[in-house]
Amino acid sequence: MKKSDKKYSVVIADDHPIFRMGIKNIVEKDKNFELTAEFSDGKELVEYFKNNICDLIILDISMPNLDGIKAAEIIRKKYSKIKILILSTHDEKIYVKRIMSKKIDGYLLKTEVHDSLISAMKKVISGKKHVSEKVVSYLMDDYAEEAENKASKKDLTKREIEIIKLISEGMTSRQIARELDISQRTVETHRYRLMEKLKFTNTAELIKFAVYEDII
């Protein structure tokens, strides 16, 4: 993250008061971030954004009334610029795959919070993805199993690699078009051809490829 006087607003959502307090203490010690609200209920979190906004949400998966994944989906659809960093005790593949198939900016295991929370927040705020090392290993293992008949980075053009990187960072076709100074239609054509070339059916597979091939 670039050095700046700007403080990024942060909302915390976790239903465990003691753990939430620990996150709050970590966030408030960093000069780049400012805590603006905290919640223990997914539904209340979503309601908050009817009249408020923030730069980053630190979001637990397991919460009453509305779980973190569903809350993230609702918020992402309505407020696409808000960054979402998921915190979870779950490192099972079923959870990892479900969450990484959504447009989530980061996934951090709760066991890594003390050492990695701030670095993960800064990475996500800067527009990059952050994924816990253990989660990355799952993605790589799965990709390695699936990759036998698929192309690798060496089979792609420089432009295709640029587009994969930007897609993996969560950019829309319109944003990628502006970033690369090309038309949106050209971006969409590249996306279609990439999916065909790599034999992928969704963006989650593309992100796994980007991680495995060291594109992001």
84: domain CATH number is 3.40.50.2300
Q: What is the pLDDT of residues 81-129, one digit of tens each?
A: 899 999 888 665 656 666 666 678 888 888 888 889 999 999 999 988 8
Question: What would the two tokens of residue 3 be?
Answer: 């050095």
- Confirm whether pTM is higher than 0.85: no
CA atoms within 13 A on the CB side of 116: 19
Does 30 share its domain with 116?
Answer: yes
Does 167 share its domain with 92?
Answer: no
Does 33 share its domain with 117?
Answer: yes
Look at residue 5 in the predicted model and tell me its pLDDT: 67
Does 142 fall in a domain? no
Does 104 share its domain with 208?
Answer: no
- Mean per-residue pLDDT of the chain: 84
Q: What is the pLDDT of residues 139-174, one digit of tens each?
A: 655 555 555 556 677 888 999 999 998 988 778 899
3-state secondary structure 137-180: HHHHHHHHHHHHHCCCHHHCCHHHHHHHHHHHCCCCHHHHHHHH
Does 165 share its domain with 78?
Answer: no
Does 98 share its domain with 174?
Answer: no
Does 90 share its domain with 157?
Answer: no
DSSP the chain: ----SPPEEEEEE-S-HHHHHHHHHHHHTSTTEEEEEEES-HHHHHHHTTT---SEEEEES--SSS-HHHHHHHHHHH-TTSEEEEEES--SHHHHHHHHTS--SEEEEGGGHHHHHHHHHHHHHTT--EE-HHHHHHHHHHHHHHGGGS--GGGS-HHHHHHHHHHHTT--HHHHHHHHTS-HHHHHHHHHHHHHHHT--SHHHHHHHHHHTT--
Domain span at residue 49 reads: 8-133
> Is the distance from CB of 109 to CB of 102 less than 8 angstroms?
no
Contact partners, residue 19, CB within 8 Å, separation at least 6: 110
